[in-house]
Chain A
Amino acid sequence: MGTKQFEVIAHTADIAVEVCGRDLADLLVNAAHALYSVVLSDPPPSGETERIVTIDALDDDALVVDWLNELIYLLDAEHLAFADFDVRRAADGQAVIRCRAHRLGGTGTHRLREVKAATYHMARLRRTPSGYTYRMVFDV
């Protein structure tokens, strides 16, 4: 996939993506971009709200899904979409990520699609010569 951050791949009922990253931290950031490309009209601008998101998952495969589900929750419940990620820790199923949020509403970036969740189906990190790839399915 070269320098591609992510790619939407075929899935009959839902939306599947393949995400790439130089390392796990990079992959988490690209997974967030993949999510927003599926649900928003435009990439979210950097906003005024800062959040530190902490994820405690069973392992690194689940870490990506749990991170995305946190972003989906914050989008649905608080209308927050994040940019400017600073991954402070990403290993052993745990992550601490500082990010800046834009609150959706009014004009500009808006929601195109509801995503119910990121699923664990197919969710597995694969090592590549240039880092990691990860496939997963969003329930839409």
Chain B
Amino acid sequence: MAGLRKLDDYRWEIPVDYKPGMRVPGLVYLSEEMLEAARQDEALEQVANVAFLPGIVGRSLAMPDIHWGYGFPIGGVAATRVSDGVISPGGVGYDINCGVRLLRSDLLESEVAPRMVAIIDRLFRNVPSGVGSEGRLRPPKGEIPRLLVEGARWAVRRGFGTAEDLEATEDGGCVQGADPSAVSERALTRGLPQAGSLGSGNHFIEIQAVREIYDEDAAAVMGIDSIGQVLVLIHTGSRGLGHQVCTDHLKAMERAVIKYGITLPDRQLACAPIESPEGRQYLAAMRCAANYAWCNRQHIAHWVRESFMEVFGLPPDRLGLRQVYDVAHNIAKVETHKVDGRDIQVCVHRKGATRAFPPGHPALAERFRPIGQPVLIPGDMGRYSYIAVGTELAMKDTFGSTCHGAGRLLSRAAARKAARGADVAESLRSRSITVRTDDVPALAEEAPGAYKDVASVVDVVVGAGICRKVARAEPLGVIKG
């Protein structure tokens, strides 16, 4: 890409005149070492394309886990003015509210490791996973609108979890403004049978042990207090319901682009003014899908707790499986941010990026206000994941956003060429990581070598000041969906 300008050790600017039609510059968070990999595909071009969106403010942003997506790059963040800007379903993606939830426990690695096979097997039985997996939830027809409006609250009301879980979930696990009438019958037909399932691809449940604590005060607020403490990380989203909501509304947006005279460099960026009927309908449906995803993770967390109780024969208070936090990393949110010195309402699209609000932010539950929003950054299944917190600089520079994971390095085909799934499983086993999946060959696609080293990604966001490290955990056992 011509004209890419280094601002400092962590930030590169794509000038606004890189392509006619860009409304703002692009800004990519990368180290010098990561830049060459990012130049290999279309990801940087996609950052420039996002800058075409009407009403975009600040810059078209990309986090260091950037990789080539469709429309937006994965790792992309864009804020558009609510008053005259657009919303783009491509800026959220098909897996609406794909996200991660972290549970902490009172168990130590030394207690869990000898029973790892039993616990992984039990989780595998209790949480439906894999291609086309059908869920354990069969919501009565009359309850479906409530599920879509209330999200995780609906699950908690029915005995799946606690009020404390909701407090430790972005938006309390229930984003406001969901309207079930905006969700098509097809989305319900496709998605409801999958409610209460993990899915496949890069979705997983991972049992981890804390290896390092960088900020003891923040960790203590999250219930993380010792090396070797066992955690459980759950990664999944809105399954077929979210996929169909995106498909349905993108089709409508294709026509809206013509109706509102919007010029775009990529059809996958199709969008409509936020305040238009098409924009409002999409937002209302997207919020239903987001709530469905929170409901899904709420149930899965419950089954994780049950699985541990069954295997260890311990009551919940001895296991201490309490929720650290739950974040969405594919979502669009209406938020207030300072732009050109004024507080305005913007729609922040985070496509493979995590909200990272600073200490004191009113959107956070009282107990997180002293430390900022917990940020969960999964790595690959062979190395480590990070727990971090949001910062003031993130609020100022990235609309309160940071990275969401490691980011792919190899295509799926290249990953399958590089290693066989059985060899990946064996390599993990040799490092005392138990892995369970229905699809061993597909493990190759999720092999550690297929991803960037998440430590290098975290170094960039921490170096740039858009989050702070709290702890690092390593995998002990993995269920790959």
Determine whether B442 belongs to the interface, using a CB cutoff of 8 Å to chain A: yes
Chain B residues numbered 119-165 whose CB sits less than 8 Å from any CB in chain A: 131-132
**Which residues from chain B contact A77 at a C-beta distance below 8 Å?**
186, 189-190, 240
Query: Contacts A62-B254, A73-B244; is A112 near B439 (CB within 8 Å)?
Result: yes
Looking at A12, A62, A116, A137, the one whose CB has the most chain B CB atoms below 10 A away is A12
A31 to chain B, nearest CB (A): 16
**Which residues from chain A contact B412 at a C-beta distance below 8 Å?**
14-15, 140
Determine whether B350 belongs to the interface, using a CB cutoff of 8 Å to chain A: no
B187 to chain A, nearest CB (A): 9
Determine if B250 and A120 form an interchain contact, defined as CB atoms under 8 angstroms apart: yes
**Which residues from chain B contact A114 at a C-beta distance below 8 Å?**
131-132, 199-201
Query: Contacts A10-B411, A12-B41; is A111 near B132 (CB within 8 Å)?
Result: yes
A3 to chain B, nearest CB (A): 22
Determine if A12 and B190 form an interchain contact, defined as CB atoms under 8 angstroms apart: no
**Which residues from chain A contact B247 at a C-beta distance below 8 Å?**
69, 72-73, 117
**Which residues from chain B contact A12 at a C-beta distance below 8 Å?**
41, 43, 67-68, 408-411
Determine whether B74 belongs to the interface, using a CB cutoff of 8 Å to chain A: yes
For chain A, the bracket of interface size reads: 20 to 34
Chain A residues numbered 115-131 whose CB sits less than 8 Å from any CB in chain B: 116-117, 119-123
**Chain A, Cβ-Cβ closest to B70:** A121
Cα distance, A8 to B414, chains bound together (Å):
12
Determine whether A86 belongs to the interface, using a CB cutoff of 8 Å to chain B: no
Determine if B67 and A117 form an interchain contact, defined as CB atoms under 8 angstroms apart: no
**Which residues from chain A contact B74 at a C-beta distance below 8 Å?**
13
Determine whether B413 belongs to the interface, using a CB cutoff of 8 Å to chain A: yes
Which of B93, B190, B408 makes the CB contact (< 8 A) with A76?
Answer: B190
Determine if A139 and B41 form an interchain contact, defined as CB atoms under 8 angstroms apart: no
Number of A-B contacts (CB under 8 A): 98
Chain B residues numbered 400-446 whose CB sits less than 8 Å from any CB in chain A: 408-414, 439, 442
Determine whether A61 belongs to the interface, using a CB cutoff of 8 Å to chain B: yes
Determine if B94 and A139 form an interchain contact, defined as CB atoms under 8 angstroms apart: yes
**Which residues from chain A contact B268 at a C-beta distance below 8 Å?**
119-121
Determine whether B85 belongs to the interface, using a CB cutoff of 8 Å to chain A: no
Determine if B132 and A116 form an interchain contact, defined as CB atoms under 8 angstroms apart: no
Determine whether B251 belongs to the interface, using a CB cutoff of 8 Å to chain A: yes
Looking at B90, B246, B268, B409, the one whose CB has the most chain A CB atoms below 10 A away is B268
A80 to chain B, nearest CB (A): 12
Determine whether A113 belongs to the interface, using a CB cutoff of 8 Å to chain B: yes
Indicate with 1 or 0, residue by residue over B199-212, a CB within 8 angstroms of chain A CB atoms: 11100000000000
Determine whether B371 belongs to the interface, using a CB cutoff of 8 Å to chain A: no
Determine whether A58 belongs to the interface, using a CB cutoff of 8 Å to chain B: yes
Determine whether B255 belongs to the interface, using a CB cutoff of 8 Å to chain A: yes
A10 to chain B, nearest CB (A): 5
CB-defined A-B contacts under 8 Å, sample of 25:
A10-B414, A11-B41, A12-B41, A12-B408, A12-B409, A13-B67, A13-B68, A13-B74, A14-B412, A62-B267, A66-B251, A73-B190, A73-B247, A76-B132, A113-B131, A114-B201, A116-B246, A117-B243, A120-B250, A120-B266, A121-B69, A121-B71, A122-B70, A139-B70, A139-B94
**B residues within 8 Å of A by Cβ?**
41, 43, 67-71, 74, 90, 93-95, 131-132, 186, 189-190, 199-201, 240, 243-244, 246-247, 250-251, 254-255, 258, 266-268, 270, 408-414, 439, 442
Return the 4 tightest CB-CB contacts between A and B, nearest first.
A121-B70, A120-B267, A116-B94, A121-B268
